[in-house]
Amino acid sequence: MINGPETSSPALLPMGFVDLLPAEAEAEARGLAEVMEVFSCHGYERVRPPLLEFEGSLLSGAGEALADQSFRLLDPASHRMMALRPDMTTQIARIAAVRMQDCPRPLRLSYAGDCVVIGTPGREGQRQIAQAGIELIGPDKAEADAEVIALGAEALARLGIANVSFDLSMPVMVWSLIDGSFSGIERESIIHALDRRDAAAVREYGGAWAELLLGMMEAVGPAASALEKLEKLDFPAMLKPHVARLRADVAAILARLPGARLTVDPVDFRGWRYHTGVCVTVFAMHSREELGRGGRYLAGDEPACGLTLNPQAFLRVAAKPKRRKRCLVPSVMVQKDLSSLHEAGYATIASLGLSGEMEQEAHHLRCSHIWKDGKPVALAR
């Protein structure tokens, strides 16, 4: 293992941008490949949009929410502004709506790539964010929501991450109450109160919806009990379909993933502005690290549901991949012998005859084996 710590030297790299050294880089690449393979097995076809686009297309629709987070660049060819993508969902929606408009629905697409965000000056996290995700475009059904969530779980399980929980929410419920009944300072006050889960403030600023909002706040918890509590609340007619859909989503997820750990938070609404239905955040059970997020939205004018996994997060909790044993070999060797070593799980390190004796060179180059008399021989430690 030759990797150092994952943190980068601030003198060398801008904050939030890091080098991944061999162990991490290999783990990230293998993790991405495993996850994409799971998606492929379920008929999700990979698309690869570019790293940057005109800001007009990249930061419109669902992308508008991330406009403040996007680096802009002038295109000297067109004299138009471009933006580095802060997220890939808008791009997939564009591809579905334009390039693949004639493909049958449901359209199942997968993607993997890097995104770049500006971050918050003074307290940057990662600013280059790897994403691997899926979008299921066309059907607006609980079974479609459940498929996307179930595949996220399967992808994480493939990486050795079995202990995950799914936090479900339906932010459109809170937003439609707020948008329909509050404005100006009252709107700010109730948003702030809900955001802090401040029951007293919700009672003070919630107006006609205070009781309902407090009831929704109290419902937070495991899916079964949360749904039971929501059942008893007096929702206005416009919200009833959302409550019913949340119930149907939970049932559909449990049908595909018996025993899945589902929690429901009916007042989780911040950071979900363009979503039109169920939203999900995937957490590692023990670390509570966020492994991915997704939800239902409109891709152009088509219903869609997507989920994005964050490889930077999930590789911290996933099982590290096995590395090849290293065998020092002569620099010129017949291909058949090399191939059989590779098939047997060895990496072959060609001796360039630099440090005298081969055994010494093998130790120097962290090799565990040496090619001798036509076979790999383990070195004494």
Question: Could you tell me the smallest distance in angstroms from the CB atom of residue 190 to a second copy?
Answer: 32
Which CB atom, from 111 or from 283, has the smaller least distance to a second copy?
A: 111
- Which class for 151: exposed (0-12), middle (13-18), buried (19 or more C-beta within 10 A)? buried
- Containing 193, the helix (H) or strand (E) segment is helix 184-195
Should residue 241 be labelled a site residue for a second copy when binding is judged by CB under 8 A? no
Should residue 73 be labelled a site residue for a second copy when binding is judged by CB under 8 A? yes
Should residue 344 be labelled a site residue for a second copy when binding is judged by CB under 8 A? no
- Which class for 290: exposed (0-12), middle (13-18), buried (19 or more C-beta within 10 A)? middle
Of the residues 12, 200, 208, 380, which one makes contact with a second copy according to CB under 8 A: 12
Rounded Cα–Cα distance for residues 190 and 201 (Å): 8
Should residue 228 be labelled a site residue for a second copy when binding is judged by CB under 8 A? no
Nearest one of 223, 320, 232, 215 to 262, comparing CA atoms: 223
Question: Could you tell me the smallest distance in angstroms from the CB atom of residue 300 to a second copy?
Answer: 13
Which segment (53-61, 181-189, 192-200, 224-232) binds a second copy by CB under 8 A? 53-61
For residues 159 and 254, the answer to whether their CB atoms sit within 8 Å is: no
Which segment (102-110, 218-226, 241-249, 291-299) binds a second copy by CB under 8 A? 102-110
Which CB atom, from 12 or from 237, has the smaller least distance to a second copy?
A: 12
Residues numbered 194 to 213 that lie near a second copy (CB under 8 A) are none
Rounded Cα–Cα distance for residues 106 and 141 (Å): 11
Should residue 366 be labelled a site residue for a second copy when binding is judged by CB under 8 A? yes
Residues numbered 307 to 326 that lie near a second copy (CB under 8 A) are 324, 326
Treating both helix axes as pointing N-terminal to C-terminal, what angle do 210-218 and 171-181 enclose, rounded to 10 degrees? 160
Should residue 144 be labelled a site residue for a second copy when binding is judged by CB under 8 A? yes
Question: Could you tell me the smallest distance in angstroms from the CB atom of residue 228 to a second copy?
Answer: 24
Of the residues 59, 62, 93, 112, which one makes contact with a second copy according to CB under 8 A: 112
Which residue is listed with tokens 């989503």?
249
For 162, list phi and psi in degrees, rounded to 5. -95, -30
Residue 48 in tokens: 């690869």
Residues numbered 23 to 52 that lie near a second copy (CB under 8 A) are 24-26, 28-29, 33, 36, 40-43, 45-52
Of the residues 365, 368, 372, 379, which one makes contact with a second copy according to CB under 8 A: 365
Map residue 150 onto helix, strand or coil: helix
